[in-house]
Structure 1
C-alpha cells in the first residue's frame, strides 16, 4: 500500500514532532481507541524537555493530514515535559486503568529527569477522564490525586562518576492486571543502571490502586549515588602539579621500570629511577633528582646534565631499583639490572650493578668503572644465568643497620631450568669488591634461597618484629638478627620463619602500612595482605582474605613476571597518615587511599569514589610510588604508557596533595545567601544551605551548591565538577561562544535544573 493514498477515509497522516507512538487505550471513555505520540526533542519547556500528544479516536471526519499543533482539548491534547533535557516522551504507552475509575490512563517516560539532583529519571502517569482536557498540560502539574502522578526512579550507583544516559523511564508500558486486584499495573525499566552491558538494568512492576497521593510509589533501597570520582588528565600537568618525562628513542618501548630510589645525593628530596626496555632488548637507565620547585611541564630524559639527574652508560642496562643505604654512608644507593646475549642469542639479565649515592656529581660514567668504593657488580652462578631477572632492595633483613639487596636468579644451571634461586646480599660499611659473586655467600655476608623465583621484593616488616622481610614469588621470608645458613629452602617455611601464599598472582611488593596499624602490608598480585605481629600459618590463601586480614582488588590489570607493574605501594599521597595504593585497571591509573578499617573482602574498582580514591587519565600500564620528589610532605607518583610510535613514549610524575579536587577554598555560612567569586586557580566551593551564588574563575574547580536554590556561574568548561545539590539550581555560562554538549560533560554536572546560556553571547547547547 502506498501511504500517499491515505485520505482520511482509509487512514491519515500525523505531522509535527512524531517520535515514539503507541496505543493509548480509551482515555476519554467515548468508546473509541486513542493514540499517544511522544516527541522527546520538543522544547516548549526548555530544550529537549519533550512533549507527548494524545489524539482522540472518533467515528469519522478525519482529514487526510492532521497536525499535532491543532490539538485543542476536544480532539486531543498535549502533555509537556517538566524542564530542560528531561526527554519526556522518549517512551509512551497506554497504562490500562491504573486507578480503576473506568478510564484508561497513560504512562510517559522522561529518562533524563533529575528530581533528586541526579539523573535518576521519572515516569508520569496521567489519568483518563470523560472531559475537561485543556489543549496543553504540564506534567509538572500532576498532583498525585485527581489528574495523575510522577514516579521517580531509584538512585543509581554512578560508577567512576559516570551518569548513564537512559535511566528510569527509558521504556514504559502497561502490564495488565498482574496481581488480579482489579487495578491495571505498570512496568518501567531503568536501562544502563548497571555496568553489565549497554542496556542492562532492572525493570519495575508497579501495582495499580485507587489512590496515589504524593506519588505513592516506594522502591526497594538501591546504592546511593556516590560523589563522582575526581578524574585528572595527565595532559594538565604543568610543572607545579607534576610533569612529563619524555622517553625518546628510535625503537618501540617494550617495558619500563619506575621506582623511587630514595635520596641519592643527600639534598633532602627523593629521586626517581627510570629503566627502559626497547625492542631488540636495547635499554637505558636514568636517575632524575628531586627538588623543591622549578620543574618544567616536560623533562627530556636524554637532556639530563648532572644537575637534574643523569643517564647511565655502559652495559645494556634495563631496570632501575632503589635499594636503600647499603654502605651506611647516609646516601641512598641504586641498583641497575643489565642484560646480555646468552646461548642461542637469547637475552639474559646476567648482572646487577650497585651504584653508591653521594653528594655532588654521582654519575659513575661507564658501569665498568665501579671499583667497590663507588659501587660494585653482582654476578651469578654461572655467569650466563638470569641473575638480576628480578631485583629489589631487601630493607635491613638482619638488623645490622645496613640495607640489604635481594636478587632473583632463574636458571642457575642452564641445563636445568628448575634450578632457580634468589640471593640476599648483606650491606656493610666498607670492603666491597668491584665484583661480588653470589657463589661466595656463606650466611654471614648473605645467603641463597632455593625455590621458584619469578619475582622478589622487599616486604617491609610484615610480622612487626623489627626486622625487614622479603618476598620471593608467593613466599614471605622473615628477617632475623643472625643464624642465617648459607642456603635455605622455601619449602621449609612453617609460619615461624615465613609463610607461603597460595592464589593467582603476578607482581609482588611492599604496600607500606595501608591500614595504619604500625605493621607493614604486602601486595601479592591483586591481593593486599595486612601484616600482623603474630599468628601467620605456614600457608595463607588469598581467597581467605576477608577485609580484616587483607582484601582483593577486583578488575585489576593482568600480567605476569617482571613486567607486571599494574599495582604498587604509593606512600602517603594525600597526607592522611595512611599509605595508599596505585594501580592500573581498564586503561586508567587509580590511587586508592588507605584507611584504618572498613575494607570489603573484595574492593571493586568501579565502586571507588572521590572520598577514597582519585583517577588519572592518560597513562596506565606501569605505575609506582615516587617518594616525596618535591619535598612538600606528600608522597608522589609515577605512571607510564608506551606510545603508538617510536619516540612517542612518556612517563609522568604526579605530585601528591591533600585534596586532588583542590582544597576547600570557599565555605558557606549556615543559613546565609553566600556569594563567592573564584580565581583562575583550581578551587573548591562548598556553599551549604541558602540561595548561594558561586562564580568560578576558570580553574579546574569543584563547586557544590548544597541546599536551596543556587546559581553557579562558569566562564568556560574547564571545571572538574558542578553539583547544584538540592533545590532549583542554575548553571550559567558567563563566557562567549561556549558550546555545552551534555554528552561531553557527563559526570561533571549534577543537580542542575536550569541552564542559562546568555553569558556574553553566542553560547549554545
Structure 2
C-alpha cells in the first residue's frame, strides 16, 4: 500500500477526438463559372512531398464564353500552380478532370480534363499545364463528358486513360505512350472510374456508369482494360427510375480479398430508399449498401480515414458529403454543401487522408460561381471514454476524468483534467497500459501494472486540476506514447477529511492516440 501511495506523487493523462475540420475553401472567380463542377486529387505535381488537386470551372469565360478552365492547386497552401483554358468558346472545359499518372515520364503526374462542348479531351503536363494530347475523335457525341486515369491497360510502362461520351461509342481507352486509341465500346459513359485489375489478367480495368440508360433505370458496366470486353454489368429498375450508375468508380479493396472493389450511386430510387451499392470486384456480388437520403450523386474512394486498415468510401448528395467505413458500411461523418468529391490522399500533411468537395452551385462570389472545399477527419479514433467507478469524496461527488484538445501525436496538445475534486489539494495524474478496478484508499484504483506519474498539480479553488502532456518528453522511456497506442489515465488526490487513508481517486479515462 505504501508503494502504491508513493506512485501517486506525480501524474499524467491522455485523450483522443474524432474531429471534422475544414482545411480551406476556394471560390469561383465570377458568376456562372461553376467552379467545382469536377474535382480531383492528382498526386504531387509540384514535388513538395504533398498531394495537390485540380478543379474544373466549365463556365469560365477567361478564354471565351463558357470555354472553361481547369486550375491546379498546391496541397500545402492552396496557391494556384497553373491553369489551362478550354480550347474554344462553348467547350465547357473542366466538366470532368482526373489524374492520369506520369504520362510523359518526367517524374511528375499529369492530368486529363474533358471539354464536352467541343467533344474534346486534353491531357496536360502536371509541371506546367503544357498540352500532351488533344483528343478529338470523329465520333462520340459530347466526348469528354467523363474522364479517368485507368492505370495500365497494356504491356508498356506508360499509364493509360479513358474518356467517356454520351452519343455513339461512349467508352474510349487510349495509350498513355502514344495517345492512340486502344479500343472503344458502344454505350454512354456519363461517369468513368479506374478499378485496378478486377479480372486478374494482369491489366487494369474500368467501370462506366450511365444513370440515364433504359428510361433512367441506369446501368454500370465493368470493362476489361486490355480488350474492352464486358466483364459484368449492373442494371437499375426503370419502373423505379433508379438512376443506377451515377458516380461509378473504384473504392479500393474493402472486403480484403486482394481485388479492388467498386461502387455506384442509385440516387433517385424515388419511391424507396436512396443508396450506393458497393460491389466485389472479384465476383460482382453486393458487399453492402450505403444509405442516406438522396445519396449517390457522386462516389469516391476515401483512403483509410479511420485507420482500421480498410479503405473507406465517400458519397454525396446535393448538399452533403458522407464518409462511410469500408469495413462495414457504417457512417463515419457528414459534411455540408458539396456535390462532386474525391479523396484518398493526405493534402495538408497531417497524416490523414483528406476530402476534396466541389459545389458548382455556390453563389458566394456570384450566382453559380462555385466553391471547392478541403476537409479532414483529423484524429479518427473514437473519443476517449471514461471507465471504472469512482467513489464520492468530501465534495459529495466522485471525481471524474476529462480531456481537451486532440489525441494527435503531431498536434501535441493533449490536456488531462479532473472535475469534482476537493479544492486546494495536491494530486498527481498517472497512466498505464492495463485497466483494472480495485479498492484503494477511499476510492478505486483504475490502472494496474507499471504506471507513469506526472508532476504534482493543485486542484485549485474550483477543484479542477489539469495537466498538458508533452509527447516529446515522457516521464520515462517506458511511458512514451506513440500513434496507435491506447493508454489509461487517472488522478490521485489528497482528501484529508474523506476517511482514514486521506486520499481518493478519479475514475479512469481510456484514450487511443493517432499520428
When normalised by structure 2's length, the TM-score is 0.42
Query: More relative contact order in 1 or in 2 (CA 8 Å, sep 6+)?
Result: 2
Return the TM-score normalized by structure 1: 0.29
> Structure 1 or 2: larger strand share?
2
